[in-house]
Amino acid sequence: MSKREVPTPELRCPRCHTELEPFWSYCPSCSRRLEWKDTLRETGAECAYCGWIVSDASSFCPWCGRNIQDDDSSEEPLKAPKGFKFHARCDWGCGGGVMYPMRFCPWCGRTQSWRYDDFENVCPHCDRGVDDWMATCPWCGEDATGRDLIPRALRRARRLLIVSRIRDWHYRVALRPGVSGVAPRAPKVIELDRRYVTGKRRRDEISWNMLTGLLLHELGHSFLYHHWSWTRTGRFRRAFGEVRKAYRVADEHWVDFERRRIATTLTDYVSAYAATHPQEDFAETFRFYVARRGRLRELFSEFGRKRKGVRVYEKFLVLHDFVRSLRGWK
Ligand SMILES: [Zn+2]
Ligand SMILES: [Zn+2]
Ligand SMILES: [Zn+2]
Ligand SMILES: [Zn+2]
């Protein structure tokens, strides 16, 4: 079940004053460890181990899971003792009630799971809900974006952008379950499918070259959304076509991103994937442009050897000129 409390204004991080929701373990902004004591004297009891508010009637601390049974503990599991709300029955059917977001049943001590539907993302470390603005997971205290899992690819992509002289547009990378891509409504958030990093495909199986390639490709989408008005210019449209045309593509093209050599099969595109849609064409052009550090001369001589059509040269020139114009060159 999902039960998200509306944050009350007085719930703020003591260090950085970020708004908090009750019973978060860490501040999502400054990662300070939080403690939820019985400050309002609602129950008159705090866990002797973790210091968080508990009920005298409980047998287990719902926050740290330790046994706190004593003479005051209720013989029978209760629905909601004083100071706590009833949000669900214990997952294990002990008959007691639990309040969001208790980690353990206060009556039988067993682990509880919650749904986090109101959150924008899932923490790649603990699978609980996180939002895109969060740097730290409020539940487990790890990096909420999962960027810590792909430091090498991120460093490499950042370095390549710098040497290609592409100005930072303040993009953010976040690992997500099930998707890679950039949504037009959030053009600066680059989503990377976390199964490449955490799931069945383990980190060591997926090469970091592939991750860098995927990242550069998605950065291309983000860059384009960020400069969307550019797509209306005649020169852009002649090179890439109509980027607004609707499309659906399967996410199963990931192998393509590892390929760092220009494909020889299609005369007018850098890769087979680029031919699927004008937006993919741009993202692939961007990927090659950045991976080759914006060195057109090298790219063009390779195009010559591979008998690429004039259109491919023009795509890179359009991008190159635009990147230069952003830096105030002419
Ligand atoms: Zn804080
Ligand atoms: Zn405790
Ligand atoms: Zn229980
Ligand atoms: Zn977490």
Cα–Cα separations (whole angstroms), residue 166 to 95, 217, 260, 288: 60, 14, 20, 13
| Ligand 1 geometric centre to CA of 222 (Å) | 29
| Ligand 4 geometric centre to CA of 3 (Å) | 18
Q: Does residue 185 surpass a pLDDT of 70?
A: yes
| Ligand 1 geometric centre to CA of 33 (Å) | 9
Rg, the chain, Cα only: 26
| Ligand 4 geometric centre to CA of 13 (Å) | 18
pLDDT band, very low/low/confident/very high, at 211 (cuts 50, 70, 90): confident
pLDDT band, very low/low/confident/very high, at 96 (cuts 50, 70, 90): very high
Q: Contact at 8 Å (CB) between 226 and 172?
A: no
| Ligand 2 geometric centre to CA of 174 (Å) | 32
Determine the pLDDT at residue 7: 46
Cα–Cα distance for residue pair 136/113, rounded to 1 Å:
20
Q: Does residue 209 surpass a pLDDT of 90?
A: no
Determine the pLDDT at residue 246: 72
Determine the pLDDT at residue 109: 97
Determine the pLDDT at residue 249: 57
Neighbours of ion ligand 4 (CB under 5 A): 123, 125-126, 137, 139-140
Determine the pLDDT at residue 200: 52
Q: How many CB atoms lie within 10 A of CB 281?
A: 25
Among the bound ligands, the one closest to the CA of 34: 1
* Best CA proximity match to 175, nearest among 209, 156, 203, 205: 203
Cα–Cα distance for residue pair 222/157, rounded to 1 Å:
14
pLDDT band, very low/low/confident/very high, at 330 (cuts 50, 70, 90): very low
DSSP 68-97: ---TTS-SSPPS--TT----EE-TT-SS-E
Range list of β-strands (E), the chain: 88-89, 97-98, 121-122, 129-130, 172-176, 189-193
Range list of β-strands (E), 203-286: none
Among the bound ligands, the one closest to the CA of 65: 2
Residue 141 CB-density burial (10 A; 0-12 exposed, 13-18 middle, 19+ buried): buried
Cα–Cα distance for residue pair 255/252, rounded to 1 Å:
8
Determine the pLDDT at residue 51: 96
Query: Could you tell me the maximum CA-CA distance found in the chain, to the nearest angstrom?
Result: 85
Determine the pLDDT at residue 327: 81
Among the bound ligands, the one closest to the CA of 109: 3
Token pair for 228: 């969307």
Residue 297 CB-density burial (10 A; 0-12 exposed, 13-18 middle, 19+ buried): exposed
Model pTM?
A: 0.80
- Amino acid letter, 69: Q
| Ligand 4 geometric centre to CA of 26 (Å) | 10
pLDDT-above-70 percentage for the chain: 89
The average confidence (pLDDT) of the chain is: 89
Determine the pLDDT at residue 28: 98
- How does pLDDT run across 136-182, given as a tens digit for each residue? 999 999 999 999 999 999 999 999 999 999 999 999 999 988 878 88
Mean pLDDT, rounded, for 261-280: 85
Among the bound ligands, the one closest to the CA of 108: 3
Give me the residue spans of the domains in the chain: 147-326
Q: How many CB atoms lie within 10 A of CB 255?
A: 10
Mean pLDDT, rounded, for 281-285: 95
| Ligand 4 geometric centre to CA of 137 (Å) | 5
Cα–Cα separations (whole angstroms), residue 21 to 12, 16, 88, 98: 8, 14, 19, 17
